[in-house]
């Protein structure tokens, strides 16, 4: 895998890492917002509250 990353280039790999980190940050933010809703409301909109709790969401942010 390191060989294919070397072919892709430093900037492409760095950009991929930034996008992945921001995606995880957005997922945590959305999960935290969803966890503010009660379980019945989550279920009525098609979410499983237990799965959201497992994914987390109330982590602190650096920024």
Is pTM beyond 0.85 here?
A: no
Q: How far apart are the first and last CA of the chain?
A: 32
In a domain, 9, yes or no: no
Output the pLDDT for position 55: 85
Could you say which DSSP state residue 61 is in? -
Give the chain's domain count: 1
At 49-58, the pLDDT tens digits run 999 989 876 5
- What range does the domain containing 39 cover? 22-63
In a domain, 5, yes or no: no
Integer Cα distance of 47 and 57 in angstroms: 14
Integer Cα distance of 63 and 61 in angstroms: 5
């Amino acid at each position: 895998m390191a060989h294919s990353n070397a072919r892709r280039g430093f900037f492409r790999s760095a950009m991929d890492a930034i996008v992945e980190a921001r995606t995880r940050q957005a997922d945590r933010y959305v999960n935290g917002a969803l966890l503010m809703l009660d379980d019945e409301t989550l279920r009525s909109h098609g979410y499983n509250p237990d799965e959201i709790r497992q994914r987390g969401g109330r982590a602190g942010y650096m920024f």
